[in-house]
Amino acid sequence: MLLHIIARGKIGRSPEGDLVDRYAKRLTWPVKITEWPDTGAGKVAEPITPHRTVLLDERGKAMSSESFAVLLGRWRDDGVRETRFMIGAADGHSDAERAAADLLFAFGPATWPHMIARAMLMEQLYRATTILAGHPYHRA
């Protein structure tokens, strides 16, 4: 299953960008990162079906790493070919985007800068895939 991170803003060369790159290189699942401008419309070219859309949103569901891994594993096993993780800009996501998402996912109730949220997401994706593979990275 393709893990597709779609984020507003350019991460560029930064400590957060280094973390994103580090975890992207470790992932054994295919990963793609698409950056959109901070404002304006963004569009995913040639949608892959079936796919799931996850919006990172402070009002979303906080999940344990194990629960997140189980969800990704279930989607993969159900034949989902792509999961899109959407990280918004400063204004977050619209009500329409929230309503259309398969999951609103939160790293707790706090608001996180989108560059840090991107690095946190990449680490959680790496952790989830290692949990599914039975790798000892995650120590429950």
* Domain boundaries, position 89: 2-133
Q: Domain for residue 139, yes or no?
A: no
pLDDT, averaged across the chain? 91
Q: What is the mean pLDDT of residues 122-129?
A: 97
Instruction: Report yes or no on 17 lying in a domain.
Output: yes
Q: What is the mean pLDDT of residues 64-73?
A: 98
How many structural domains are present in the chain? 1
Q: Is 140 part of any domain?
A: no
The predicted pLDDT at position 9 comes to: 84
pLDDT at 13: 87
**Residue 25 resides in a domain:** yes
Question: How far apart, in whole angstroms, are the C-alpha atoms of residue 46 and residue 114?
Answer: 25
State yes or no: 108 annotated in a binding site: no
pTM for the predicted model, two decimal places = 0.91
Q: What is d(CA 86, CA 104) in angstroms, rounded to the nearest whole number?
A: 10
Kindly state whether residue 50 falls inside one of the protein's structural domains.
yes
Would you state the pLDDT for residue 108?
A: 92
User: How far is CA 65 from its chain centroid?
Assistant: 13
With a CB cutoff of 8 Å and minimum separation 6, the contacts of 108 are 62
56 is in an annotated binding site: yes
Q: Is residue 138 part of a domain?
A: no
Cis peptide bond prior to 30, omega within 30° of 0: no
In-domain check, residue 91: yes
What's the pLDDT tens digit per position in 16-58? 999 999 999 999 999 999 998 877 666 666 666 789 999 999 8
Per the structure block, which two tokens stand in for 71? 């969800």
Q: Is the pLDDT of residue 6 over 80?
A: yes
Residue 9 sits in a domain whose CATH number is 3.40.1280.10
